Each structure stands twice: as C-alpha cells, then as structure tokens.
C-alpha cells in the first residue's frame, strides 16, 4: 500500500488544480465564516456605540435646558447606517469580494465613529489596530488595503477641512500624518506577511489533502480489487466444499452400502453354513423316513386281517404264521431305531434353525439405528460380537480366549460399539485363516485404562500387518483383502472418534499377528462429537 501511495503523482497539472481548488474552497469558507462574524460584530458595535453615547454624552445643555445629544443621534442613525449594509451583504452575499470590502470600509469608519463618540480617547484608537487584525481573518490582504485607505482618506479629508480634529492644531504637520500612517502600515505589513504565511500553510495542507485523497482513492480501488478476488476465492472454495460434501456423502452412502453388503455377505455366509447342516439333517431324516420299514408293518397287519378268523391257528400252524411274532418283534426294534435317528436329526434341525434365528436376531440388533447412549456392559458387547461370528469361528477351528477384567457399567452407543467389535473380530478371523488349522488363536481382553477409560483388545496370531501398511490401515479405501472395500477400519476409527475414544493397532510385521486396542471412556463424552473425519488420521495411534 505504501508503494501505491508513493506512486501518486504530485506535480502534474491536475494535482495543482485540485490543490488550488482546495485552497479556494478553504478561502471561501473562511470568507463566509468571517463575513458572518462581522455581521455580529457590526450589530454589537452599533449597540455598544449607542450605549457609550447614552452613558458618556446623553444630553446637550444650553443653560439649564437640555436636549438629546448629537452623539446619541449619531450612534443611533449613523451607526445604524454604517452597520446596515455590511450586515445585509454578509447575510445575503457571504463570501463575495465586495462584501468583505464593504465590511472593511465599515469597520474602519466604526473606528472613526467610536473615537469620536468617546472624545478621542487614546484607548479607542486601539480599535483601528484591532479592526485590522480582525480583518486579517479573511486571509486576504486587499481588505487591509481597503481599510487602510479609508483611514487615510478620513485623516486626509479631516486634515484638510478640520485639521484640529486630527492633529490638534490648525496647521497640520506632515510628519504627524506620516507618523499616523506609519503605525497603520506597520501593522499592515506584518498582517500581510502573516496572511502570506497562512496562505502558504493552506496550500501545503491542500496539497497534502489532495495527496491523501488520491491515496484514499487508490486504497479504495485496491480494496475493491482485493474484495472481488476474495469473493471469487470464496466462491471457488464454497463450490469445492460443496463438491467435497457431496463426495463425502457419496462415500458415506457407498460405505453404508458396502457395510450392508458386508453384513449381508456375513449373514448369508453364516446362514448358508447352517443351512447346509439343516439340509444334511433334512436329507438324512428324509432318507430315514423313506427307507423306513413301516411298510412291512402294513404287510403284517394285512396278513393278520386275512387270517382274522383263524388268527390263532394261523400263528400256531401256518409256517408263515409261526414267523409272524418274530417278524413283528424285529420290525418293532427296527422302527424304534428309525424313530430315534429321525428324532436326532429333527433335534439337530431344530438346533440349526434356532442358530439361524439367532443370527438373524443378532443381525437385526446390529442393524438397528444407533446413536443412543445407553448403559451397558463391555463384556456383553464383546460376547455378542463373538456370538455373531461364532459359527464361522467354530467352523474354521479358531480358538477364542477371553481375558476379562472387572469393569463398571459403561455408558455409550452400544450399537456402534458392537459394529466396531464385529468388524475387529471378523478381521481377526480373516487374518487367522492364513494360519494352519490348530494354530488359530483369537484373544479378547477387557481391562480398565485409568479411572475414566477402558480398553478392549482384539489380538490374533494371524497374518499380521507389514510396517508399511500400518500407517494406512485406517485410511479410507485401504484394504489388503482380495474382495475388501477399505471401509471397515476407516468407519471403525470414525465411530471410535465420535464416541470420544481411540483405536490403535500394533503388529510386528507379516505372520506376526496383530493387536487392535480400542480405548473408550467409561461415560459418554458430553456435548457434540468432534468432527471425527478431520481428526481421525491424527488421533488413531499406529504402533508399528
């Protein structure tokens, strides 16, 4: 900005014209102001003259007869005329050249009148010099010339016709005239010099003012330019933010869909496993029923009906009749066995259907709306997560180790916690699949962390995480799974952040297993959650 101000041209014609216009404007304002001041002064002088005449010479005497003194009439009439025109011009034409010259004439004549009314007192002569000084308020030396001329003419005329009134003697000495004039000129010279200095100051101030005005114009232009640029930048940024918000919304939708797909996959996977068992049980039961010997019982019954009239003889004498009791005994035993097998299969079927029911129920619970802080148990949530994956864990021969330390009841979003834990357990399970069967071990711990927080640790001895991936594992879209989306851990980290907690990971590298530590407050944090997405990268501790 300083550079801009320094670029202001100060010597061109327009600059000088503007400065001169400022000076003219100031001089005019001064003239108007001074004219109005003199209008008041003229009125005051008139009143003062009348008062002085009434006080000093109210009446003229001739013996014991008296009349109003001529000084009173002079003050009233002559003083009135003297003040009338200057007041009129000052009010009607303030600032005009002629106005101030008329005022100068009137002011000089007021000196003469007052001197006369006060009997030529030396003190009243100070009015002349005071008037010149006041006239200098116009900052125009010509008014001093006018006033001086009036004084000179007054002295000259009275010196010619009434020299005694000026010089006290009938024959005026030229040196006395010069002396009188010299004192007036003495003041005129210094007043003129003062006016010149004042005008020089005004011109200097006017130049500075023009410079400042131009600087202000430059600054305003600069400000307007910057403001426009800023508006443009703000517009661009707002559009970018809108786009970012839309993208974020799309990502959330995609993450939600991916999560739903994950859940659906998981549910279908688990339900499918159980359905296989159900199908096997159903086939076995069907096969048992199909291969049942019940039809032989019907044949025996039909045989007995044919011989119902001689059933005893038939059983006793007929060779086929003699085999019938043994046949029935054998058949009964066989049917009992079949009944037991079918019942066993039906029990298994019922059990697996119940398993399906639990899976569906758990999924319904898992999928229900979250966001509600409720009082719950960390152990219960972790067990639910493990139960959610129980069939898969069992199927793949994963040993689950529970190390729970005592914790008070916690207050948090239970659904959100369950979602996180299911995700961690499922990731651990997937990591363990790369290990040979019989060595797959999943350790789940719950322990306090200070007085107000607790930790849930999900540790596996599975595939582990390479160091280079540790820093990206919570990033959006990062995954090591062939069919993964990279949403799971990212969503978990966001959810943890929203709950006022922190999710950290530790791994010694590939084939060394991984430990995910979820740390949460025992009581839900008060107030609105922070913008978890903005702080997730900084808050999640990545321990290599």
Contact residues: another protein, CB under 8 A: 24-25, 27-28, 31, 56-64, 66, 69-71, 74, 77-78, 81-82, 84-85, 93, 95-98, 102, 105, 109, 112-113, 116, 119-121, 154, 158, 161-162, 164-165, 167-170
What is the residue-wise DSSP string for 344-360? HHHHHHHHHHHHHHHHH
Smallest separation, CB 120 to another protein (Å): 4
Which residues 6+ apart lie within 8 Å of 517 measured at CB?
455, 456, 457, 503, 504, 505, 506
Q: How far is the CB of 230 from another protein (least distance, A)?
A: 40
Nearer to another protein, 110 or 474 (CB): 110
Cβ 119 to another protein, closest distance in Å? 5
Taking the CA of residue 382 as centre, how many other CA atoms within 13 Å lie in the half-sphere pointing to its CB?
20
Q: In sequence order, which residues have a C-beta less than 8 Å from that of residue 44 and are 6 or more positions away?
A: none
- Smallest gap from Cβ 56 to another protein, in A, equals 6
Q: Which is nearer to another protein, 61 or 527 (CB)?
A: 61
Among 79, 89, 69, which Cα is nearest to 48's? 79
Q: Strand, coil or helix: what is 505?
A: strand
Other CB atoms within a 10 A radius of the CB of residue 256 amount to 12
Residue 292, helix vs strand vs coil = coil
CB 379, CB 448: distance < 8 Å: no
CB nearer another protein, residue 95 or residue 509: 95
Nearest to 460 by CA among 422, 482, 433, 478: 433
Q: What does the alpha-carbon distance between residue 312 and residue 308 come to, in Å, rounded to a whole number? A: 8
Smallest CA-to-CA distance from 136 within 34, 252, 270, 262 is with 34
Question: Residue 71 or 485: which CB sits closer to another protein?
Answer: 71
Residue 61 DSSP symbol:
E
Q: Nearer to another protein by C-beta: 27 or 373? A: 27
Work out how close the CB of 23 gets to another protein at its nearest, in angstroms, rounded to a whole number. Answer: 11
- Closer to another protein by CB, 116 or 296: give it: 116
Nearer to another protein, 169 or 254 (CB): 169
- Rank residues 121 and 204 by Cβ distance to another protein and give the closer one: 121
CB of 197 to another protein, least distance (A): 20
Q: How far is the CB of 95 from another protein (least distance, A)?
A: 6
Beta bridge partner(s), residue 448: 454
SS3 190: helix
Q: Quick count: other Cβ atoms within 10 Å of Cβ 320? A: 11
Closest approach of another protein to the CB of residue 17, in Å: 14
Distance of CA 148 to the CA centre of its chain: 72
Q: How far apart, in whole angstroms, are the C-alpha atoms of residue 516 and residue 506?
A: 6
Residue number, 110 or 314, with CB nearest to another protein: 110
Least distance (Å) from another protein to the CB of residue 58?
7
């Amino acid at each position: 900005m300083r550079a801009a101000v320094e670029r202001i041209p100060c010597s061109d014609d327009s600059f000088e014209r503007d400065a001169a216009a400022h000076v003219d404007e100031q001089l005019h304002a001064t003239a108007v102001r001074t004219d109005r001041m003199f209008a008041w002064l003229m009125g005051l002088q008139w009143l003062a003259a009348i008062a002085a005449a009434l006080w000093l010479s109210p009446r003229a005497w001739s013996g014991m007869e008296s009349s109003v003194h001529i000084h009173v009439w002079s003050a009233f009439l002559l003083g009135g005329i003297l003040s009338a025109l200057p007041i009129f011009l000052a009010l009607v034409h303030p600032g005009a050249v002629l106005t101030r010259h008329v005022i100068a004439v009137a002011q000089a004549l007021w000196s003469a009148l007052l001197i006369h009314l006060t009997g030529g007192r030396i003190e009243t002569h100070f009015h002349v010099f005071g008037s010149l000084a006041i006239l200098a308020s116009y900052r125009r030396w010509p008014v001093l010339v006018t006033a001086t001329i009036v004084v000179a003419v007054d002295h000259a005329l009275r010196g010619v016709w009434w020299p005694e009134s000026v010089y006290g003697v009938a024959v005026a000495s030229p040196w006395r005239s010069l002396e009188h004039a010299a004192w007036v000129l003495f003041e005129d010279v210094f007043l003129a010099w003062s006016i010149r200095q004042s005008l020089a100051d005004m011109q200097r101030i006017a130049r500075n003012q023009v410079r400042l005005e131009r600087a202000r114009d430059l600054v305003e232009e600069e400000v307007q330019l910057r403001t426009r640029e800023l508006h443009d930048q703000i517009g661009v940024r707002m559009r970018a933010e809108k786009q970012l918000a839309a993208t974020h919304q799309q990502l959330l939708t995609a993450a939600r869909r991916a999560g739903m797909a994950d859940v659906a996959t998981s549910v279908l996977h688990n339900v499918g496993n159980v359905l296989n068992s159900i199908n096997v049980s159903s086939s076995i039961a069907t096969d048992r029923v199909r291969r049942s010997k019940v039809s032989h019982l019907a044949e025996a019954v039909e045989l007995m009906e044919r011989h119902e009239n001689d059933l005893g003889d038939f059983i006793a004498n007929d060779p086929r009749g003699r085999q019938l009791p043994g046949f029935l005994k054998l058949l009964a035993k066989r049917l009992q066995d079949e009944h037991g097998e079918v019942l066993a299969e039906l029990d298994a079927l019922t059990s697996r259907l119940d398993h399906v029911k639990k899976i569906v129920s758990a999924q319904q619970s898992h999928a229900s709306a979250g966001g509600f802080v409720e009082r719950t148990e960390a152990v219960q949530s972790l067990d639910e997560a493990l139960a959610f994956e129980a069939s898969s864990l069992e199927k793949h021969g994963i040993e689950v180790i529970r190390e729970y330390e005592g914790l008070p009841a916690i207050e948090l979003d239970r659904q959100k916690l369950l979602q996180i834990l299911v995700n961690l357990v499922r990731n651990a399970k997937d990591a363990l699949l790369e290990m040979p069967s019989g060595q797959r071990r999943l350790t789940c711990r719950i322990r306090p962390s200070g007085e107000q927080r607790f930790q849930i640790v999900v540790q596996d001895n599975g595939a582990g995480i390479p160091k280079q991936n540790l820093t990206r594992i919570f990033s959006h879209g990062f995954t090591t799974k062939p069919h993964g989306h990279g949403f799971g851990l990212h969503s978990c980290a966001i959810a943890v952040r929203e709950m006022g907690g922190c999710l950290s990971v530790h791994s010694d590298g590939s084939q060394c297993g991984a430990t995910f530590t979820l740390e949460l407050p025992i009581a839900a944090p008060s107030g609105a959650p922070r913008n978890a997405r903005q702080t997730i990268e900084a808050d999640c501790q990545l321990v290599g």
